[in-house]
Structure 1
Amino acid sequence: MVQWGINQGNCIPISCIINIYEEGDCIPPHIDHHDFVRLFCTVSFISESSMLFSTDIEIIGPGEFQGPVEISLPRGSVMILKGNGADIAKHCIPGVRHCRVSITFRRMSDDKTPYGIQPDLELEKLQPYEL
């Protein structure tokens, strides 16, 4: 991701979250904790969904949200969150219509990393995949 210019060298992700959605699953409006360094990115797999952004997202019902900004996340897309989009605006994933998987890559601030956490030496040896 650094080689492709998605992440800067000082923000190389060291963790990921894998979200597996079944039909109707959602993620409610939230702002990711500020212990995580901005920027972070989410890669979408299997099916398209949308993400809503706003400082005030209205909850209509289970998995139903309303906000002024809706961005489509097609299969294979990469969503970069940084700046006001990560720090001020809430974001959410409304109930999905089809099975979906997303992987969010991020890095915890060095001064917030839990005491005693050691990097996985095998992962440290990984090299970029050549396209």
Structure 2
Amino acid sequence: MLSFYSEPQKWMRGKGRITIQCGCCYNFTRDRLGNPPGILRYDEVDPLPFEIKKMIKRMVRWGILSADCIPNSCIINIYEEGDCIPPHIDHHDFVRSFCTVSFMSKSNILFGREIDIVRPGEFRGSVEIPLPVGSKGNGADLVKHCIPGVPHRRVSVTLRRMDDSKVPHGFQPDLEFEELRPY
């Protein structure tokens, strides 16, 4: 098995970012095979890496993540200067809440029922919140959110729990998380 890695063609400023997915492979849009957005149930990817599991355990023990919704998948986004994530609401194949941890550089996140695309990698929404290095935030269900073109290289790790009815065929739950509780 291999983690799912994707790197889009950089055909214009603000387009794409490198992604590494563990636990499940997630399709952001309808792909060229006709698969709709959501968890691809027949694709095999690596389970969560040791370092990510260690981070999850600490965050649950410290009460940052709920013991009722322990993540079993993650996506690592690697941004170069100008890369972005366009406006979206996260897919319901993942239960709420989930968490994104930001590394390497400060960035902003925009929220709004409507988010305007000003130009590639630039957006205008109702609320803009800075995400400093080391920040953690929960995903939203009611409004769209996006990451405008980042000013510097950035890495984020989004931790999510798959809906039990959507897990990939052959997925094995991590026994290390069975008895995990806050301190």
CA distance in 1, matches of 2:154, 2:88: 20
Task: Report deviation, 1:114.
Answer: 2.1
Distance of aligned partners of 1:6 and 1:120 in 2 relative to their CA distance in 1, 3 Å threshold: closer
Please state which structure has a larger fraction of its residues in strand: 1
Q: Which runs of 5+ in 1 are unaligned?
A: none
The match for 1:17 among 75, 91, 109 is: 75
CA distance in 1, matches of 2:65, 2:173: 19
The amino acid that maps onto 1:40 is F
TM-score, normalised with respect to structure 1: 0.86
Once the two structures are superposed, what CA deviation does each residue of 1:12-46 show, in whole Å capped at 9, x if it has no partner?
00111000000000000001101101000000000
Aligned counterpart, 2:158: 104
> Residue 90 in 1 paired to residue 110 in 2?
no
Aligned counterpart, 2:9: none
- % identity of equivalent residues: 68
TM-score, normalised with respect to structure 2: 0.62
Q: Which runs of 5+ in 2 are unaligned?
A: 1-58
The amino acid that maps onto 2:101 is V
Once the two structures are superposed, what CA deviation does each residue of 1:40-85 show, in whole Å capped at 9, x if it has no partner?
000000000000000100001000000110010000111122xxxx
The match for 1:8 among 66, 71, 74 is: 66
The match for 1:56 among 87, 111, 114 is: 114
Q: Between the two structures, name the one with larger relative contact order (CA 8 Å, sep ≥ 6).
A: 1
Aligned counterpart, 1:36: 94
Task: Report deviation, 1:111.
Answer: 1.6
CA distance in 2, matches of 1:58, 1:4: 37
Task: Report deviation, 1:120.
Answer: 5.4
Q: What is the number of equivalent residue pairs in this alignment?
A: 120
